A and B are shown apart, each in its own frame.
Chain A
Amino acid sequence: DGGITQSPKYLFRKEGQNVTLSCEQNLNHDAMYWYRQDPGQGLRLIYYSQIVNDFQKGDIAEGYSVSREKKESFPLTVTSAQKNPTAFYLCARLKGQGEWAFFGQGTRLTVV
Chain B
Amino acid sequence: QKEVEQNSGPLSVPEGAIASLNCTYSDRVSQSFFWYRQYSGKSPELIMSIYSNGDKEDGRFTAQLNKASQYVSLLIRDSQPSDSATYLCAVTENRGSQGNLIFGKGTKLSVKP
A residues lining the B interface (CB < 8 Å): 33, 35, 40-45, 48, 50, 56, 58, 90, 97-106
Contact = CB atoms under 8 A, between A and B. Distances in A.
A90 B44 contact: yes
A23 to B, nearest CB: 12
B86 to A, nearest CB: 9
Interface residues of B, number: 24
A19 to B, nearest CB: 19
B101 to A, nearest CB: 6
Contacts, number: 53
B99 interface: yes
A100 B46 contact: yes
A78 to B, nearest CB: 18
B43 A42 contact: no
For A50, A56, A97, the residue with the greatest tally of chain B CB atoms inside 10 Å of its CB is: A97
